[in-house]
Amino acid sequence: MGIAHFVEELQQLKQNPPATLFRWQGYRITWVIMLVTTLFLELCALYFQYIAHMDPCERCVYQRLAVMLLGLASVVIMVSPQQRVLRLLGYGIWLMGAAYGLSEAINQTADYAGFNPFSSSCSLQPVFPFELPLDNWWPTMFQPTGICGADNWTLFSLNMAQWMVIIFSIYLLAAAVCILSSAYGWLKKISPVSR
């Protein structure tokens, strides 16, 4: 996909956004980009834990799981982006991961607002969906060792939980756009990939 093709795709986006967004989902690179964003978020989490020495709380590890679900969604779709069944399965995982992560991030913002180290709402024994013992299977990633709301890290005056609310909201919005454009493309019987 060269520069000329990229410019052509941008022009098509202006002319017919739903059809163009539908076609873009037929390219594996679209899903590689999503996977890279989730890997970046997981690496940031590990950086904060092991380099910056900010222990993850219960809600943090739930959000790590949510980001992993987003990565899994992109891998499922990446297998064959033009297969409707894989896309629908990927969308389902995407929606679950983004909604679960957003819920935990919103709850974590409340932990920041009412932070009290003596009455934390966090537990060091997380309860993952389906009671999966992820903290036993992969403790370096999923074992909470911190207290919810205990860190003082900010970027542009937003704390980590507030940033995660924004990030998961973007993932939910992107999912909605992809699902709606796919429904449009399938109803209009548009070829999934141009050329």
Tell me, what's the pLDDT at 135?
Answer: 84
pLDDT of residue 96: 97
Q: Give pLDDT, residue 23.
A: 85
Q: What's the pLDDT at 116?
A: 64
Residue recorded with tokens 């980590």: 160
Q: What is the pTM of this model?
A: 0.87
- pLDDT at residue 121 in the model: 64
Nearest Cα neighbor of 168 from 93, 70, 75, 73 is: 70
For 122-178, the pLDDT digits (tens) are: 777 888 888 888 888 988 888 888 877 666 777 888 888 899 999 999 999 999 999
Query: How confident is the model at residue 194, as a pLDDT?
Result: 46
The domain limits of the chain are 23-153+161-188
* Interacting residues of 113 by C-beta distance below 8 A, sequence separation 6+: 149
Low-confidence ranges of the chain (pLDDT < 50): 194-195
pLDDT value of residue 114: 66
Task: State residue 195's pLDDT score.
Answer: 42
Topology adopted by domain 23-153+161-188: Bromodomain-like (1.20.1550)
C-beta separation of 108 from 164 below 8 A = yes
Cα within 13 Å of Cα(156), Cβ side? 3
Identify the pLDDT of residue 154: 77
